[in-house]
Structure 1
């Protein structure tokens, strides 16, 4: 029998929401597709495209970046194109601007679909992979007969908890109390529920914001209009939740694997071994780490979007002082002025602490031998980066999926949560100090570290992680073969 010719490479358009916590995993997904010879067009705004890290040279012919101009919006300063560029209360203005990308996207798709016989990036797209916020995009793609897939950068627990529009319509959730228990479509017993201050945030996410559309409604409508759902999970980590998702959503939910930044991890390890080549900011940070004992430093970072209040910053800072352990704290610019008077000077004088305001090479820090734990908001990307190096975690979840993930990680005994007041979400410095010591100093910390090292082994089973991408490609190919 004649051998069937191999199908042509896919052309996949990927378009993340305007947050680097979304852009980075979308880029990891794009690179995984490119490594298999598929062509990826990566859409974002001009300033975001300029800030994306360069792809490996061998992938540059497969991934092209296309900038869509972000419309001006009253109250949104020029150059604010990502959530890290604005305070939390102005993110809803960014959503107004984002919705204004519908016309530029339509123009892009019309142009690329006009060349039926093209190849590579000139070929009609086989798929558009969107994010939670793109409720307006699937109708545009439908006009060109291009199917959409929604890529959840959130973990399986959150995807299961939110559910599709049909189940939300059947079981309305309008008050905080509705989010403080598992939804009826998740079998009991389950730890998947929000604490009160998190539940109030979630209830607010289902109310319209300045864009006129609630974040929850955006996601439910985008899910409804997409033919395929892609979720950033691993069966070895997420377990039984994975088997529920297809049934909950009534359509295929395909794993992408955890999309760990292996290239960055390898580069970080080799940089520490080789030395040199760093800018002065990074070099001075690495010199400080080099002077600390092995596994003695807790790295503290709450991401580029964390809604930290002055009260939280103050209690965390004074808790770190009370704990008496070495720490490296990466603070975003908008939080730098919230520190208690004299805190940085006391930390430097005692030789135990270092505060960096602005960007810090997180993977490089986590790869350093002096780091022994990570104090984090429990965002999935940060957890994956921590477990790549076998670090236990101390968690202070702040919004979206983080509370659910923190419950599961605490149940798995890879770390623990900082206690918070259930009425207002406040923390006490004494509780921060006690939690830091449990992770970094006391015998319990060795249990957390041992369990974190088990997750490191799962993550570094790269052959298994590659299989998830191969499974995803097979799903994407099915339409091409129909």
Structure 2
């Protein structure tokens, strides 16, 4: 199905309902924009504060995208106004899941009103934790699909209930090698011991009353198929991930492409959107030589410690390269009054002034990565950031922590597009020399040419717009064909 055929055929009415985290909200909105561009109607559900913080929808798509705010529930232990994981330290994320579960009644009322008003959705597309949505949708005869914003390899690695029953994993060490059903994975595509503790915990009931594994299994079992923000080019090489997922779950696994947000340029209220002066970080980059700067961004929700930040800083200093650090105070460091100066080594900014910039304000990441002065990307391997780095052809220095980040780092190292910072396998600790060594391999030493060449080749594949459009058109074909069918 071509784009023209998709736009000229039956128009769909799709409801998108993401998890309450901006790493999910933004890809869901991008999926909505791609659907709207093909003539389909999209309703995007979240809570009031999250809706208000979304980037504006392009004017030509706005008539087909409706943003609906469901009332945010009050949850004991959550601060007032906490409606996303960005609003709380990592240890309170499970309470955000309780808040999401508290949206069941408002969602049921929304859907009943839509059906009664003649606006019955053709599809409800839900995230990994919305395990209660399918039952509500079934009452109105509305089908559901899942949309996973993590790589397909992670969902395959987690596996089905039956696969885990047949091959139980009971200790963190069990997650340090690919499971039996992932025999096609490269051998190193697994978690390190220090990461595996997080994975093992995902199989346990948390403060929300449900384990993450049960949520993933429930929505995958109860939906007609699963969509992935991914494609064959960024999954583990030779693993046949989407075929494997289809076989595991006995229903289609559909890649939607990488869904890069080329028009997302910062917060909706940022002054740069109104045509004011060029952001200062870009002005600084304008003065740097071509490919000389490593861009450093470790995510606003990464569970970093003060010691981690010190070692990254001192590693950059030891490496002796130009750097731009998009520095955000991690949510895990919540001591009142703690500022950037206290989180960096004494004298660091003075010693690196001239060739390094630590920036605490907003950074237009896509525009930074597109800048000719940037030559590499030091990243926590969040999927969105990894995709952005690869789409601009940057080799990666990788410092993963939780969730899918470890698997992403192993996959990208195996693909030869970067280097992972060496760490203690038991506790995950790393030092300045480890950071410096990885940065120099990617930015300075002869080996950098190999990483740069491989990253450039992957960039060319990921920027093949015809291929990306084909992924989306095939997804629209599934949505169109299966909306009135109980079969797969």
What do residues 172-199 of structure 1 show as CA deviations (whole Å, max 9, x unaligned)? 2231011111111112553321100110
Give 5+ residue unaligned stretches, structure 2: 1-7, 267-271, 334-339
1:127 paired to 2:130: no
1:272 paired residue number: none
- 1:328 maps to which residue? 324
Task: Give deviations 1:411-468, integer Å, cap 9, x for gaps.
Answer: 1110010001011000011011011011111111111111111111111110111011
CA 1:94–1:480 in 2, change beyond 3 Å: closer, same or farther?
closer
Per-residue deviation, 1:7: 5.0
TM-score after normalising by structure 2: 0.90
Secondary structure of the corresponding residue to residue 375 of structure 2: strand
Contact conserved, 2:199 with 2:403, CA < 8 A, in 1? yes
**CA distance in structure 1 between the aligned counterparts of 2:349 and 2:108, rounded to whole angstroms:** 50
Tell whether the 8 Å contact from 1:333 to 1:358 is kept in structure 2 after alignment.
no
Distance 1:345 1:386 in 2: 29
Report the equivalent of 2:231: 234
CA distance in 2 between counterparts of 1:341 and 1:81 reads 36
Runs of 4+ in 1 over 4 A off after TM superposition: 275-280
Tell me how far apart the structure 2 counterparts of residues 357 and 276 of structure 1 sit (CA, whole Å). 19
Q: Does the Cα contact within 8 Å between 1:165 and 1:224 map onto a contact in 2?
A: no
- 1:354 maps onto 2:357 in alignment: yes
CA contact (8 A) 2:55 2:264 kept: no
User: What is the CA-CA distance between 1:251 and the residue it aligns to?
Assistant: 0.8
Deviation at 1:46, TM superposition (A): 0.8
- Which of 26, 41, 44 is 1:42 aligned to? 44
Deviation at 1:64, TM superposition (A): 0.6
Tell me the residue number matched to 1:30.
Answer: 32
The answer to which structure has the higher helix fraction is: 1
8 Å CA contact retained: 2:292, 2:373: yes
Cα distance, 1:43 vs. partner? 0.5
SS of the aligned residue for 2:33 comes to helix
Q: Report how many residues are paired.
A: 461
Deviations 1:270-318 (A, max 9, x none): xxxxx996666x6222221111111111111112211111121111111
Partners of 2:273 and 2:83 lie apart in 1 by: 33
Gaps in structure 1 of 5+ consecutive residues: 1-5, 117-122, 268-274
CA contact (8 A) 1:192 1:407 kept: yes
CA distance in 2, matches of 1:327, 1:178: 38
Which aligned pairs between 1:35-434 and structure 2 lie closer than 5 A? 35-116=37-118, 123-188=119-184, 190-238=187-235, 239=238, 240-264=240-264, 283-334=279-330, 336=340, 337-348=342-353, 351-434=354-437
Distance 1:195 1:100 in 2: 35
For residues 209-228 of structure 1, the C-alpha deviation after alignment (integer angstroms, 9 at most, x for no partner) is 21111222211211111111
Shift of 1:234: 1.3
Quick check: 1:165–1:221 contact (8 Å CA) kept in 2?
A: no
Contact residue 123 and residue 483 of structure 2 kept, 8 A: no
CA distance in 1 between counterparts of 2:173 and 2:284 reads 46
Q: Distance in 1 between matches of 2:310 and 2:213?
A: 32
Q: Match of 2:279, SS?
A: helix
Q: TM-score, normalised by structure 1?
A: 0.92
For 2:336, the equivalent position in structure 1 comes to: none
Contact 2:300/2:329, CA 8 A, preserved across alignment? no
CA contact (8 A) 2:10 2:480 kept: no
